[in-house]
Structure 1
Amino acid sequence: MIRVMLVDDHAVVRAGLRIILETQHDIRVVGEASTGEECLASVGRLAPDLVVVDLAMGEGMGGIETIQRLRGEWPGIQALVFTTYDTDADIVRAVDAGAIGYVLKDAAPAEIYAAVRAGARGERVLSPPVASRILEQLQRPQLTLTPREAQILELLASGVGNKELSRQLFISEATVKTHLAHVYEKLGVDGRGAAIAVATQRGIIRNQRAQ
């Protein structure tokens, strides 16, 4: 029996996912949490094999930090991302944090069942659109932003200036400018506004206005 914990700040999402998963004889939902903090406080007691976690959970700890701490404190418990976000930056950060898989919320039930089973076995699993995006990166590595470049561009898109960005990332403003120069070259633009627009269009960073 695969023991699963659901972590999402929307009760209706958790309820729907629970209903879908519990139609399967080999999957049991052993607990739910609406925040990363709540997840970490109860995961040791619930002892799931797999935690299905969203990336954006309102105030408090986000999905990436939740996954990092979960994998650090309970390395035997796998984390599967279940989210609407499919940008390069989100995918890379989730995998770097230790997620075993990345599934989009518009996935069919059969895909979700397969992802949960594979993730619980410790096998990497990606939704087809996510896998396609990663394959595209591998085929065009010269056009792919590094995780740091994508992070810097996404922070700039949210309104953070160079000085604040350097403070948050513990790097100098000169280093920020160097990263931006590389970003502009890769995207074929000559300024941050154009870079943000192109990166949003290509799905490299999130559309800040749509959030």
Structure 2
Amino acid sequence: MSATTVMLVDDHEIVRAGFRRLLDNAADLQVIGEAATGEDGYQLYLESKPDVVVMDLSMPPGVGGLEAINRILASDPQARILVLTVQECEPYPSRVLQAGAKGYLTKRCAPEELIAAVRQVAQGREFIAPGIRKELDGKGASKLEALTKRELQVFTLLASGQSVAQIADAMFISQKTVHAHRANILGKLGLKKTSDLIHLAIRHGIIEA
């Protein structure tokens, strides 16, 4: 039986190296490609058509994980994508699963859990970490659910330290539009400034302190 082919998309080279070593040590799994951005991940998917894509969500600047998922599934509705991220809180899990990803794991997962998830997703079955399932079952608790898809993207980029100019370039929108999104985000979340937004992102595990 041929090995299940896997593609890794994560902007941290050391993280990719660790995951590659782990997956390649499983006799039935083979990592055939790596990408550091959502855009590169999308292009590499079109070229290599792996059985499973292991995708991070936070890859600023440029195309983020959620947008890359949407692009891949638009080109191949049968694509099997497993999200592996630090982002544990809503609305990220539900947005990702609504987009069509098959699985959701956090980077705190045990090595054997990642291997099991890749195998299950390769078979076309869903794999959601227990902690994420709990978060989905308690849906509605996070203020972030009030944000639109575009606002959530801007929120994530702001929280990761991107400037308004960088976000405008990455998203192909004007700086004025970014400022408008930022104002809407702060209003919806009941915050006053970007530093408050960063603290909220840290509390929710969206970014690491």
TM-score range, shorter chain: 0.7 to 0.9
1:58 counterpart SS class:
coil
Structure 2 residue ranges without an equivalent (≥5): 165-175
Aligned to 1:44: 46
Q: Pick closer, same or farther for the CA change 1:145–1:37 going to 2, 3 Å.
A: same
Which of 78, 87, 90 is matched with 1:88 structurally? 90
Contact residue 40 and residue 66 of structure 1 kept, 8 A? yes
For 1:27-66, list aligned pairs within 5 A: 27-66=29-68
Which ranges of 4 or more aligned residues in structure 1 deviate by more than 6 Å?
Answer: 195-199
**Structure 1 position 4 matched with structure 2 position 6:** yes
Q: Which moved more, 1:66-75 or 1:144-153?
A: 144-153
Preserved CA contact (<8 Å) 1:82 1:105: yes
Identity %: 33
- With over 3 angstroms needed to count, the CA separation of the structure-2 counterparts of 1:20 and 1:77, relative to structure 1, is same
* Stretch moving more, 149-158 or 52-61: 149-158
Instruction: Give ranges in structure 1 of 5+ residues lacking alignment.
Output: 184-190
Instruction: Evaluate the alpha carbon distance shift between residue 76 and residue 153 of structure 1 in structure 2; reply closer, same or farther with a 3 A threshold.
Output: closer
How far the C-alpha of 1:85 sits from its partner, in A, is 1.2
Over the residues paired in the alignment, what is the CA RMSD in angstroms? 3.4
Question: For 1:4, what is the secondary structure of its paired residue?
Answer: strand
Task: Return the index of the structure with the highest Cα Rg.
Answer: 1
Partner residue, 1:107: 109
Residue-pair matches, total: 187
Equivalent-residue separation in structure 2 for 1:145 and 1:2 (angstroms): 39
Structure-1 separation of matches of 2:107 and 2:134: 16
Task: After TM superposition, give the deviation of residue 89 of structure 1 in Å.
Answer: 2.1
Residues of 2 paired with 1:156 and 1:108: CA distance? 29
**Residues 86, 206 of structure 2: 8 Å contact kept:** no
Q: Name the counterpart of 2:173.
A: none
CA distance in 1, matches of 2:57, 2:125: 20
